[in-house]
Amino acid sequence: MNILTFDIEEWYLEKILHGGRNFRNKQFDDTFTQVLDELDEKKIKATFFCVGMLAKDFPGVVREIAIRGHEVGCHSNVHTWLNKMTEEQLKTDTTEAIKALEDVSGQKVVSYRAPAFSITSGNKWAVNVLAECGIINDASIFPTNRDFGGYKGFPQDIPCIIKHEGATLNEYPISLTSFMGKSLAYSGGGYFRLLPYWFVSKTIKKRDYNICYFHLNDLINQKIAFMSKADYENYFKEPGTLKNRMMRYAKSNIGTGDAYGKLIRLLADHCFTSIRDSYFDWTKVRTIEL
């Protein structure tokens, strides 16, 4: 089964970081509409993980996702990494986000993805908080090393039930493949932009489960500007050293030139569904105690 997801935060982050530049918002608007039209044409439904503040500041985005028949999931309220929150902060953030998204979309929000896949071995308590807030399905586990997140040592990259102190979530972890002896993601973000299409497509065909994830910024053919030290530290909450900013610039821009075309090929060559419309027999999957 192939699951298609999008993480939607661009309009909100553009507003808080840069004041909402018209040319950037138009890029987001145009790419968003192109993606939705392409999904309509191919009769594909996806899960769109939206930050809660989108529903407040840009409700038309969330409303359009729901009108087109896609699942609206939660991507936090203000795109703060979960490993930078306390339990109480996460509860408040998630409650506010879910309410805002449900009020605009008219859907019950039961699927969640943490910004930067930031459920890690150091904040397992997030499972308890999300379950308490009504989340059933989670797609936050990145089962290897990753910037700002990642769960090294997580034992599998196929659907499972994760459990912590009695709370459980249906988990849709990011898919991995082996490359030169290392575990490598291939189905979204910078990995999808960097890797050749034939490699991604071949890997998807070999596996029974794949979950793909994209941001609008992944699909826009343009260079993301080199961040100032202040902007970097404000957003990433870590030192804005020259090395860190150079690494982020490279990772943000590599492969953007043909990413949208690669996505269109992917949608033509493979069948996809949303988390909401996927089916797994959860009585037969592995339960992993965190």
Which band of pLDDT confidence, cut at 50, 70 and 90, is reported for residue 223?
A: low
- DSSP summary character for residue 48: E
Average pLDDT, the chain: 90
Which band of pLDDT confidence, cut at 50, 70 and 90, is reported for residue 180?
A: confident
Helix 259-269 vs helix 22-42: angle between axes, to the nearest 10 degrees? 20
CATH code of the domain containing 38: 3.20.20.370
- pLDDT digit string, tens, across residues 110-165: 999 999 999 999 999 999 999 999 999 999 999 988 776 789 889 999 999 999 99
Span 188-209, average pLDDT: 92
Any domain includes 104:
yes
Any domain includes 239:
no
Q: How far apart are CA 207 and CA 173, in angstroms?
A: 14
Any domain includes 176:
yes
- pLDDT digit string, tens, across residues 23-56: 999 999 999 999 999 999 999 999 999 999 999 9
Residue 274, domain extent: 2-223+256-289
Any domain includes 245:
no
Q: Would you call 134 helix, strand, or coil by DSSP?
A: coil
- pLDDT for 64 beyond 90: yes
Any domain includes 271:
yes
Which band of pLDDT confidence, cut at 50, 70 and 90, is reported for residue 246?
A: low
Upper half-sphere CA count for residue 269 (Cβ side, 13 Å): 14
% of the chain beyond a pLDDT of 70: 88
Which band of pLDDT confidence, cut at 50, 70 and 90, is reported for residue 231?
A: low
Any domain includes 247:
no
- pLDDT for 255 beyond 70: no
- pLDDT for 256 beyond 90: no
229 Cβ contact partners less than 8 Å away, ≥ 6 residues apart: 240, 245
- pLDDT for 66 beyond 50: yes
Which band of pLDDT confidence, cut at 50, 70 and 90, is reported for residue 239?
A: confident
Any domain includes 133:
yes
Any idea which of 126-135, 209-218, 245-254, 268-277 has the lowest mean pLDDT?
245-254
Any domain includes 231:
no
Span 83-104, average pLDDT: 97
pLDDT at 240: 63
pLDDT at 226: 54
Contact 71, 108 (CB under 8 A): no
* Number of domains composing the chain: 1
Which band of pLDDT confidence, cut at 50, 70 and 90, is reported for residue 245?
A: low
